[in-house]
Every structure is written in C-alpha cells, then in structure tokens.
C-alpha cells in the first residue's frame, strides 16, 4: 500500500493501468489497495473515469534522509503507523537500544497526551515526535525539563511562521486560547541513578479539520495560511531541542526560568489548578527555579509541581 501511496503523493492523476504496471499487479488489485488506503489511513482519493486516481491533496511524507541532512544530531526512525511514538521509544529502550534516538510516525493509532487523554493523530498531517535520552545522575537532571522542551517547541513554531505561539504551564503550547502542541515526558529506569526519559511532542502541523478533539485547537497551516514542510519542522525542532537541552544540562533550569516566564501566556491570570477531583483557585505569579507553579491562593503564595496537575482559566479571569 505504501508503494502505491508514494506513486500518488504528488496529488496528480494516475491511471489504474499505469499504477498497476508500476506495482506489477492488476488494475483490480490496484483498486483494492486504494480502498485500503482510504479505509486504513483516512485518505480521500478522487476517481475520475478516463483520468484515473488522485489524492484530494498532495502528501509530503517524512524522510529520515532529508531530516538527517538538516539535523544530524540523533538517529531517526520513521514509522508509517504505530500505536504511539512514546510507546515505541519505550519498547526500544527495553530492548537495549542506545539513546539518544528519535522516533517519528506518519500516524498514531493510540496517541496519548497527559492524564491519559487521546491525541488525535491523522496520517501525514501532523508531527508525532519522541526523543529518547539517557540520564545519568538521577532525577535532579530532569528538574524543569518539560518546561525546557516547551521553550524549544515555541522557538521552532515561531521559526515556522507561528509568531504568537506561547506557553501554558506545565506542558502545552498555545496560540491565544487554542492548543497547537503538547508535551508528554515518560521516565523509565532508576530515578536515583541511570534512567531514560522519552520527550514526546505532538504538533498540529497541516491539520485543518479534526473530529474527536475535546478542546480548542489550531495548527501551523491554519495560523500561517500555508502548508508546512514537516521534514524541515522536524529538523528545526531537533536543532532547538539540542540547544536548549545543552543549556539545561550545563546550567540547570534556573538559567532558563526568566525566558520561560516571558513566554508564559497565563501570567497574572486567575486559574483553577486541578489535581484529581480537587480544584485550587488562585492567581498565577510565575514559576520557581525548579519549574514549579507559583500561585497566590487566598492571599498566600504557594508552589505546586507534579505530572498529574492541570491548569484551567477561571470564568472570572
């Protein structure tokens, strides 16, 4: 099927006979494969008598060779379809793969965000990106790391035409009130010694329509008005991550605290902090030098941190 998809990805019409000749199969077999492409990948294929078959829009598939030319830091594996890139990276670590390495996919069948949320992952439209890193020296090396990843994502988005991207504590990237990217970090190993962390990043790139998304969202294409080259975006994101991770490793999160605060969209806003079934209302004062959220609650400053916390604007904000 993917050989057929590569023949069709230019968005032009191709006759069934030409496709069959290229694939060494009959025209009826071509038709069956086209039906599979539509059913399995959710692609729309136009069929016009006398002209042949055409994808409703051209596809630009991820190319590890092209990515490596622009960003050679880490070995890259691209999957056509995977349950989730984070899950695949974790499996590779368990099987002894040497980090760092990067896992990408054209589609996720079970993409997930923080707090177990589903991450909508249509084929060849967005970026599903997981970077596996080895961490020596224990959990302290991870302090504020998810916020540092957010800075890298924001810079990559701005360099890709989304000038007003900003951060929402702890792991979201927004344009105004709309989500454009999310971050999910997962840790395996000994948190007191040698461990691995997977930096999972999902970015809405060329998506224009989506079903099943339970919050306001946008994409690079919707914001910039033009299609984005995902290979160039992967390279830009990898270059930004490499720079920010090196700063974090050398000087800790405190060295990036001010920059993160400058990019925080909800500074000074009235919010509700959600932890399980409990809600804590307060006003955002900023973050501390470990990446914890500083809130003014009933006139008193309190600091909150943890992977299962979520922030919402209050109605009176």
Instruction: Check the annotation: does 85 bind a ligand.
Output: yes
Q: Is 86 annotated as a binding residue?
A: yes
**Is position 81 annotated in a ligand binding site?**
no
215 is in an annotated binding site: no
- For the chain, how far is it from start to end, CA to CA, in angstroms? 51
- Judged by DSSP in three states, 228 sits in coil
Structure tokens at 109: 């069948």
Sequence-distant (≥ 6) Cβ neighbours of residue 287 within 8 angstroms: 147, 169, 257, 260, 261, 264, 293, 294
DSSP 56-70: SS------HHHHHHH
240 is in an annotated binding site: no
47 labelled ligand-binding:
no
The catalytic site residues sit at 114, 179, 312
286 and 264 Cβ atoms separated by less than 8 Å: yes
Q: Are strands 101-105 and 76-79 parallel, antiparallel or unpaired?
A: parallel
Does 27 carry a binding-site annotation?
no
84 assigned ligand-binding residue: yes
What is the DSSP track for 236-302? Answer: HHHHHHHHHHHHHHHH-GGGGHHHHHHTBTTTT-EEEEEETTEEEEEEEEEE-TTSPEEEEETTEEE
Q: Which residues are annotated as a binding site for biotin?
A: 84-86, 108, 112-114, 179
């Amino acid at each position: 099927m993917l050989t057929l998809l590569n023949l069709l990805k230019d968005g032009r019409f191709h006759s069934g006979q030409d496709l069959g000749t290229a694939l060494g199969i009959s025209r009826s077999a071509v038709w069956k494969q086209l039906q599979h492409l539509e059913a399995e990948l959710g692609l729309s294929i136009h069929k016009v008598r006398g002209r042949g078959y055409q994808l409703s829009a051209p596809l630009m598939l991820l190319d590890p060779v092209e990515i490596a030319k622009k960003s050679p830091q880490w070995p890259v594996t691209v999957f056509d379809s995977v349950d989730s890139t984070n899950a695949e990276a974790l499996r590779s670590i368990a099987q002894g793969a040497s980090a760092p390495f990067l896992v990408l996919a054209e589609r996720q069948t079970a993409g997930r965000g923080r707090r177990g949320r589903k991450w909508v992952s249509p084929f060849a439209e967005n970026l599903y990106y997981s970077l596996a890193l080895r961490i020596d020296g224990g959990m302290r090396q991870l302090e504020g790391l998810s916020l540092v990843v957010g800075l890298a994502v924001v810079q990559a988005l701005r360099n890709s035409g989304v000038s007003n991207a900003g951060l929402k504590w702890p792991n979201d990237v927004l344009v105004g009130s709309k989500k454009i990217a999310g971050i999910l970090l997962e840790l395996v190993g000994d948190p007191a010694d040698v461990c691995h962390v997977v930096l999972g990043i999902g970015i809405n790139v060329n998506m224009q329509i989506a079903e099943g998304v339970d919050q306001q969202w946008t994409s690079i294409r919707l914001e910039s008005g033009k299609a984005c080259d995902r290979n160039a975006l992967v390279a830009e994101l990898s270059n930004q991550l490499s720079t920010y991770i090196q700063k974090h490793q050398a000087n800790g999160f405190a060295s990036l605290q001010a920059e993160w605060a400058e990019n925080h969209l909800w500074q000074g806003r009235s919010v509700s902090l959600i932890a399980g079934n409990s809600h804590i209302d307060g006003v955002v004062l900023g973050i501390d030098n470990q990446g914890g959220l500083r809130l003014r609650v009933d006139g008193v400053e309190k600091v909150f941190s943890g992977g299962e916390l979520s922030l919402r604007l209050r109605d009176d904000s």
